[in-house]
A and B are shown apart, each in its own frame.
Chain A
Amino acid sequence: VTTQGRLDGFFTVL
């Protein structure tokens, strides 16, 4: 089973 990952956490909020 695969679930869709999210981008939150990959990028830093400037």
Chain B
Amino acid sequence: MFEARLDSSVTLKKVLEAIKDLLNDASFDCSDTGIQLQAMDNSHVSLVSLTLKSDGFDKYRCDRNITMGMNLASMVKILKCANNDDTVTIKAQDDADTVTFMFESKKQDKISDYAMKLMNLDQEHLGIPDTDFSCVIRMPSIEFARICRDLAQFGESIGIACTKEGVKFSASGDIGSANVKIAQTSNFEKEEESVTIEMQEPVALTFACQYLNSFTKATPLSPQVQLSMSDNVPLVVEYTVPELGHIRYYLAPKIEE
């Protein structure tokens, strides 16, 4: 028996919004420690790694490890049937071929359940090596989303160059070029609005706008985003899922020829 409950379905809605652009289907691996999802997009350019810890749920029970393959578009359809403040309970029997989403209104005057067919996805599990990154940037997630959106107007790629002075985002194309420089903030009172840079060595890499903009769909989850970069390894873009865990996106850089 698997059962996981969240007091408000909006968190699950936000998590789904954050991954549905990149993945059509995904396997949710459920164990007593929580729910894990790890999948590359079809073109093997990006990888999504989602961790939702069991102790972050309002109720969590997982008697036996189960992997639930779900179509994300179908999941989105079902979650649309829930109000943001409805309690959501995800339930599945061991060896089940369906998963049930139960929504309960706060007043307990409406209870609905939706059963969704599970899929056999046979996804590979990948080992992600620990990396000491040359640069780790923390900045407001809204600012990062704004920069990705603005620079996408200029070209298909965004250059991210990090030095101890700050981070420079740049793009160029037919209409011209754009540069946005973000400096480390000295005011640490408002942590959510701060920009911090931990730099061992300067790094400059180029990434596809389309993927960065997909990652920013996670913005509603967290006020801050963390960008980790080193030469010759994927960029890691991490958002915290408050109280539950995190979502990490890995993106292969563009290669100069």
Interface residues of A (CB under 8 A from B): 1-8, 10-14
Contacts and interface: CB of A to CB of B under 8 A. Distances in A.
Contacts of B129: 10-12
Interface string B179-223: 000000000000000000000000000101000000000000000
B254 interface: yes
> Which DSSP category, helix, strand, loop or mixed, fits chain A's interface?
loop
Contact of A2 (B47, B124, B126, B255): B255
Given A5-B252, A7-B40, 12 more contacts: A2-B206, A3-B255, A3-B257, A4-B254, A4-B255, A5-B254, A5-B255, A10-B234, A10-B252, A11-B127, A12-B126, A13-B124
A13 B255 CA distance: 23
B47 A4 contact: no
Interface in B35-82: 40, 43-47
**Chain B: interface size category:** 20 to 34
B256 A2 contact: yes
Contact of A7 (B250, B255, B256): B250
Contact of A5 (B45, B127, B128): B45
A5 B211 CA distance: 13
A8 to B, nearest CB: 5
Contacts of A4: 43, 45, 208, 252, 254-255
B127 A7 contact: no
Nearest to B47: A7
9 tightest A-B contacts by CB?
A: A5-B252, A11-B126, A2-B254, A12-B127, A14-B125, A1-B257, A6-B44, A5-B255, A7-B252
B253 interface: yes
A10 B128 CA distance: 8
